[in-house]
Copies of this chain bind each other. A is one copy, B any other.
Amino acid sequence: MKKWSTVIIGILIFNTVLAEDGYRLWLRYNTIDNVSLLQQYRQQVTSINCPSDDARLVSANQELQTGLSGLLGKKIPLQTAVINGTVMLALPTHLPFIRKQIGDTAMARLGDEGFIIRTIKYEGKNITLITANKQAGLLYGAFHFLRLLQTQQSIRQLSISSTPKIKLRLLNHWDNLNRTVERGYAGNSIWDWQRLPGYIDQRYLDYARANASIGINGTVLTNVNANAVILTADWLQKVAALANAFRPYNLKVYLTARFSAPVEIGNLKTADPLDPAVRKWWKDKTDEIYKYIPDFGGFLVKANSEGQPGPQNYNRTHADGANMLAEAVAPHDGIVMWRAFVYSSETPEDRFKQAYNEFKPLDGQFKKNVLVQVKNGPIDFQPREPFHPLFGAMPQTPLMMEYQLTQEYLGFATHLVYLAPLFKEVLNADTHSKNENSPVAQIVDGTTDEHTLTGMAGVSNIGSDINWTGHPFGQANWYTLGRLAWDNTLTPAQIANEWIRQTFTNKQAFVDTVQQLMLASREIQVNYMTPLGLHHIMGYGHHYGPAPWYNKAPRADWNPVYFHKADSIGIGFNRTATGSNALAQYQPAVRQQFENMGTCPEAFLLWFHHVPWDYKMHSGKTLWETLCDKYYSGVDSVRWMQRSWDHLKNYIDTERFNQIKQLLAIQEQEAVWWRNACLLYFQTFSNKPIPEKYEKPDHTLAYYEELEFPYAPH
């Protein structure tokens, strides 16, 4: 009968399952299709030996049983007997021999979350040992071992030691309590608040699994434009239910704290951070939170930014506000992440400079358990930004990196854009803050200024769509955040390669082509959206599509015209000493690189200079010609992506192939829209023709200016 049922189910799957809906993400565990490799693996992996004295070990063990049985196409049992091919998970506290085997220094190097995977002899048997100092390490080690098989690497003589470079590896959800998601493009929030705490959706567990598999160890559940209601008892019970669901996957829960909560839900007259009643209210509220969630992570705060309340409402500093909360969570080992994304509507100052101006003076004034969370760039998650001048400027303060996974300015969930190159470009940028080699990566991971409290966050691109991120390739950006936060030395190519293999297939031709697409995709988008250092020229409010002409926003620095400053002479924002002098916020070595129009990398040119239309670029072409070349090459490259993708039809499931094919077609249309709208508009200043060789825009500028999108997601 067993044979039967297997065969029967085997056929059933052809009909109903091989349609890949993307829900499984990179944890697909399909049986290895390379038969000889499958045979090897089956010899090398025969059973699992794992204690279950901790929820995280139960998770690790479940995942190994599911994953290995799927990958090897046969049941891999949990058993106590150690045999050849046993995968053994254990801490030195479980098995004293481990400490001798590995050695104290090697163990010490792992910290609380690192792991070692070694092929060893144990009681005469060839086994794979996965060990760590803490249970979390074993969980991460289990997922790493599975990844080796998923990506079809040799597991013959393993000797792996891996320790996370960053301590806090977090997702930031901009999810509202009514289940909408600010800047969400993949459906609505996966937090079904209405049915919490009573109903635990399977999705919560798979979300936690996915995060654990890439080392993400914390999640901020709520929008930084915060709602105090989340801090009330009824809602804390809902949060606690999620925390309980996540805990077995070593995923901690954090919340955003609305600064005015003491007034809104505490019936106090003020939220002044130096007011004793306010301080007591936060202390009591925090104690209450920890009653519900003993391992609550802490608070993320957006204060005095874009209308959010904050300490400045009471003439206090960001440090005053952050430290008040830090004191409240400190007894529980909680932390505070205070966002540096601030700019005031009052000051006419270049928005680029405001965060630095406000925060640099506060360096040294923050409590030990406070991190200042800084966006990768000085404006707001544009396709390309120079690194934020605060990196390297606050040596006494742990600076947490904030990336944006949701593609607010990068084509929503419609454009294929792999973000690892953007993330790495920033990490690799040298701040010159301490010496010749102080890249942002080492500021963030604490090396440069010897911080042990370190963090990296990604604004989530996750929603209720079945495939989690709307665009199947959006999954790669979620994946990247986790892998890069764990190991900031990984290259975009390495991360793409392993993601593709797990998510689609190990077939080399597919992997090579898709990896090429992914690595090129971000520069391609920069070219058809904002080449040569243009930035913030998208539609107002919803940020959908191009609107470089827009100038009706209630504040100057929400208008594209504020940022590109196109006129009859040229285009670009002069941030040199003759302009806003934002460059003065960088170290001299960085400033020098940017402040000279001739030496400034062309990719950043219009970030820092107002450049004449006739300016000769390195190529010998004028700025205007180069601008045209960039926009047109961006569109051409999208067409190249389409052609490349079309060749891959037979490598993967029809469902995802067609899905991506359709999305690439929309991306091509929108790339043309960006190119035409921007060039036609800038042409009204340059008064120069679009080179003859190029296809003519198929609409007028007026047509593009009149487009409206009242229901675009925002």
Contact = CB atoms under 8 A, between A and B. Distances in A.
Interface of A: 4-17, 19, 21, 23-24, 28-31, 35, 66-67, 69-70, 73-75, 177-180, 185, 187-188, 193-195, 198-203, 229, 412-414, 464-466, 655, 659, 662-663, 665-666, 669, 710-713
B35 A15 contact: no
A70 B28 contact: no
A70 B12 contact: yes
B199 A662 contact: yes
Contacts of A178: 711
A432 B36 CA distance: 77
Contacts of A21: 23, 202
A187 B413 CA distance: 18
A29 B12 contact: yes
B19 A202 contact: yes
Contacts of A19: 202
A525 B163 CA distance: 55
A-B pairs, 6 with minimum CB distance: A10-B10, A6-B10, A8-B73, A15-B70, A198-B666, A8-B31
Contacts of A198: 662-663, 665-666, 669
Contacts of A15: 29, 66-67, 69-70
Given A10-B7, A11-B75, A669-B198, A203 B466 contact: yes
A710 B179 CA distance: 12
Contact of A30 (B12, B199, B466, B665): B12
Nearest to A227: B711
18 contacts: A5-B10, A6-B7, A12-B29, A13-B17, A15-B29, A15-B69, A23-B466, A178-B711, A179-B188, A188-B464, A194-B713, A198-B662, A198-B665, A198-B669, A199-B414, A199-B659, A199-B663, A203-B466
Most chain B beta-carbon neighbours within 10 Å: one of A11, A35, A200: A11
B193 A711 contact: yes
A48 to B, nearest CB: 14
A31 B13 CA distance: 10
A699 to B, nearest CB: 14
Contacts of A711: 177-179, 193-194, 229
A61 B602 CA distance: 58
Most chain B beta-carbon neighbours within 10 Å: one of A13, A21, A194, A201: A194
Nearest to A190: B187
Contacts of A16: 24, 28-30, 66, 70
Contacts of A7: 6-7, 10, 73
A180 to B, nearest CB: 8
A299 to B, nearest CB: 21
B464 A35 contact: no
Contacts of A465: 464
A23 B24 CA distance: 14
A644 to B, nearest CB: 19
Contact of A188 (B67, B74, B187, B655): B187
A406 B59 CA distance: 37
B11 A13 contact: no
A466 B206 CA distance: 13
A19 B206 CA distance: 12
Contacts of A201: 659
Nearest to A18: B9
B14 A13 contact: no
A11 B70 contact: yes
B414 A195 contact: yes
A179 B710 CA distance: 12
Given A6-B11, A16-B30, 12 more contacts: A7-B73, A8-B31, A9-B14, A10-B10, A11-B31, A15-B70, A188-B464, A193-B711, A194-B412, A195-B413, A199-B663, A464-B464
A66 to B, nearest CB: 5
A680 to B, nearest CB: 20
Contact of A74 (B11, B23, B75): B11
A372 to B, nearest CB: 31
A710 B200 contact: no
A4 B35 contact: yes
A456 B437 CA distance: 73
Contact of A466 (B5, B177, B466): B466
Contacts of A655: 202
A213 to B, nearest CB: 14
Contacts of A713: 179, 194
A414 B198 CA distance: 10
A409 to B, nearest CB: 16
A686 to B, nearest CB: 31
Contacts of A663: 195, 198-199
Nearest to A667: B198
Contact of A31 (B9, B17, B665): B9
A15 B66 CA distance: 5
A663 B196 CA distance: 10
A538 to B, nearest CB: 15
A167 B177 CA distance: 42
Contacts of A187: 187-188, 464
Contacts of A31: 8-9, 11-12
A195 B6 contact: no
A15 B65 CA distance: 9
A170 to B, nearest CB: 24
A26 to B, nearest CB: 13
A414 B188 CA distance: 19
A472 to B, nearest CB: 12
Nearest to A414: B195
